[in-house]
């Protein structure tokens, strides 16, 4: 995506919704299917928000919906463009890019501000910079920026009051749980790409160099670290399930279904132990259907009776990692 001249008039909402629907259908078939669980108003807002997240991701990676690499513009220039277009969208200005205009619409409708969008953009910047966590709280801070902060935006799109800090915290917790599962699943892929999201102090204590995490002699140590991560993911997921009880029932169904589908990743990785990376962990269609049914039953039932205390809350994690 390249810079474009500002438009004097923004596209109307219906046109933005249609373009956002096309973007989610192209970029994430699973998310597009899951969005059908929402009521029509929330569904459209989810599409609008997705379009902005997708556009930021593509700009950060210099790609188009994950396709071929772009023209090689510098990280600095690409992030300056993301921040500039986002600021213009939040100010209500036409940007010349439908995805940022889509953000402007959903932000005005749901009370989204530069604080929330800035936390998401910070996650893209960390990845682009090849950043690595030095400690557990930094790893969780990374999870906040790349997933928990998106959970906050999703909660606002679902109608959560921007002042309802506790419910927003629990929406953030679900994103953190998902990202911990992703990190655990993708250790081998990340190493092949020159990345490592295991905390540096954990690795040092186990005598494992970041570039050697998949070496056979370190497998037992890495399995122990991953088990620790997956246990933490379970705590954050349980916290999020309690927050879901405060949402409208269709949103509650969507959130609980997602918790089951994506939470299964961490559970499967932990269960496989040393064989977790022999093949990529996925959730089959029958399993997804089972989680949809379980999510529906949970949405119609009472809230959890007991809620665990997560190790770090959203505010702490937002400050845990220095901005790039």
Distances 3 to 73, 83, 84, 100 between C-alpha atoms, Å: 11, 12, 10, 12
| Biggest alpha carbon–alpha carbon distance for the chain | 62
Long-range CB contacts for residues 226-229, cutoff 8 Å, separation at least 24: 226/184, 226/187, 226/269, 226/270, 226/276, 227/270, 228/202, 229/180, 229/183, 229/184, 229/266
pLDDT number for residue 128:
86
User: 223: part of which helix (H) or strand (E)?
Assistant: helix 219-244
Question: Does residue 25 contact residue 32 with C-beta atoms inside 8 Å?
Answer: yes
Structure tokens, 122: 């910070």
Residue holding tokens 């050697």?
212
Is it the case that residue 297 has pLDDT exceeding 50?
yes
84 closest CA partner among 163, 183, 3: 3
- Distance from C-alpha of 218 to C-alpha of 277, rounded to nearest angstrom: 13
Question: Does residue 148 contact residue 218 with C-beta atoms inside 8 Å?
Answer: no
- Structural domain boundaries of the chain? 11-110, 132-324
- Those residues whose C-beta lies under 8 Å from the C-beta of residue 99, and which sit 6 or more positions away, are 19, 20, 23, 51, 52, 54, 55
- Identify the band that residue 3 occupies on the pLDDT scale cut at 50, 70 and 90: very low
Structure tokens, 289: 């259907």
- Work out the number of other CB atoms within 10 angstroms of the CB of residue 310: 23
- Identify the band that residue 30 occupies on the pLDDT scale cut at 50, 70 and 90: confident
Structure tokens, 45: 């807002």
- Identify the band that residue 308 occupies on the pLDDT scale cut at 50, 70 and 90: confident
pLDDT number for residue 295:
96
- Distance from C-alpha of 324 to C-alpha of 318, rounded to nearest angstrom: 13
Q: Nearest-5° angle of CA 76, CA 23, CA 92?
A: 60
Domain made up of 132-324: CATH architecture: Orthogonal Bundle (1.10)
- Distance from C-alpha of 94 to C-alpha of 85, rounded to nearest angstrom: 9
Structure tokens, 259: 């918790």
DSSP string, 193-218: TT---S-HHHHHHHT--GGGTTSGGG
- Work out the number of other CB atoms within 10 angstroms of the CB of residue 271: 13
pLDDT digits (tens, 9 = 90+) for 221-263: 999 999 999 999 999 999 999 999 999 999 999 999 999 999 9
- Distance from C-alpha of 115 to C-alpha of 271, rounded to nearest angstrom: 38
- Distance from C-alpha of 70 to C-alpha of 313, rounded to nearest angstrom: 37
Quote the DSSP letter at residue 229: H
Is it the case that residue 64 has pLDDT exceeding 90?
no
Is it the case that residue 68 has pLDDT exceeding 60?
no
Q: Mean per-residue pLDDT for 118-145?
A: 95
- Distance from C-alpha of 171 to C-alpha of 150, rounded to nearest angstrom: 9
Q: Mean per-residue pLDDT for 197-205?
A: 98
């Amino acid at each position: 995506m390249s810079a474009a001249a500002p438009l004097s008039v923004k596209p109307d909402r219906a046109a933005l919704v249609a373009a956002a629907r096309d973007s989610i259908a192209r970029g994430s078939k699973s998310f597009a299917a899951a969005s059908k669980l929402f009521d029509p108003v929330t569904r459209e807002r989810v599409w609008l928000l997705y379009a902005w997240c997708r556009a930021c991701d593509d700009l950060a990676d210099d790609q188009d919906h994950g396709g071929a690499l772009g023209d090689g513009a510098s990280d600095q220039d690409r992030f300056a463009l993301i921040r500039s277009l986002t600021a213009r969208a939040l100010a209500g200005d036409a940007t010349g890019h439908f995805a940022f205009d889509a953000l402007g619409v959903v932000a005005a409708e749901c009370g989204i501000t530069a604080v929330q969008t800035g936390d998401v953009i910070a996650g893209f910047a960390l990845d682009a910079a090849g950043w690595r966590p030095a400690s557990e709280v930094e790893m969780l801070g990374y999870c906040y920026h790349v997933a928990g902060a998106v959970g906050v935006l999703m909660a606002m799109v679902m109608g959560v009051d921007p002042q309802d800090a506790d419910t927003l915290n629990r929406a953030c917790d679900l994103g953190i749980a998902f990202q911990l599962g992703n990190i655990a699943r993708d250790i081998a892929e990340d190493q092949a790409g020159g990345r490592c999201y295991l905390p540096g102090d954990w690795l040092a204590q186990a005598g494992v160099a970041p570039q050697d995490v998949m070496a056979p002699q370190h497998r037992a140590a890495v399995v122990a670290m991953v088990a620790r991560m997956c246990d933490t993911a379970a705590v954050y997921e349980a916290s999020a399930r309690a927050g879901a009880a405060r949402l409208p029932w269709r949103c509650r169904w969507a959130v609980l279904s997602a918790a089951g589908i994506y939470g299964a990743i961490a559970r499967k990785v932990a269960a496989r132990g040393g064989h977790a990376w022999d093949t990529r962990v996925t959730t089959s269609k029958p399993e997804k259907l089972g989680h949809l049914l379980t999510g529906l039953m949970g949405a119609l039932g009472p809230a959890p009776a007991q809620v665990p205390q997560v190790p770090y809350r959203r505010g702490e994690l937002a400050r845990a990692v220095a901005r790039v």
